Structure 1
Amino acid sequence: MRFPHSGRIMYVRTYSFKEDQVRNQVLFRIPEEKGSIFVTDPFLQIYHEHGLTGLIFKEVWSSESAT
């Protein structure tokens, strides 16, 4: 959704990433979401294996559902 007066992005309804560009990433950001940090499954695996706490994760995209 975009702001009508500037055309800048207000919020993202549905995320869609290019799998080949995020496949080897552990953490990444996108310009449209400056306050968000996106993580991939390898990050989540390490996070949980080490018993870390304090972060909240929300799945916004899955390569398994991407076509």
Structure 2
Amino acid sequence: MRPAPPGRVVARGLQMTNLVVVHMGDCWAVAKSSRCLGVSRAQAVDALRQQVPACTHCRPHTALGVLD
């Protein structure tokens, strides 16, 4: 059996230090690579507040209640 997908995912850039985009865990646009990292709700909200873009497909900012 496959493990359940994480609730939220942050995709990292090529250098693995910068954050590129925040996704919900079940988003179809999440790349199946080592550059995607499952994060907690608090970490995802913090990333969105630090201007990391939200995915335009799954809209995690709406699901997490972070609307500016």
| Higher percent of residues as strand | 2
Name the larger-Rg structure: 1
Greater length-normalized contact order (CA 8 Å, ≥ 6 residues apart): 2
TM-score by length of 1: 0.25
TM-score by length of 2: 0.25
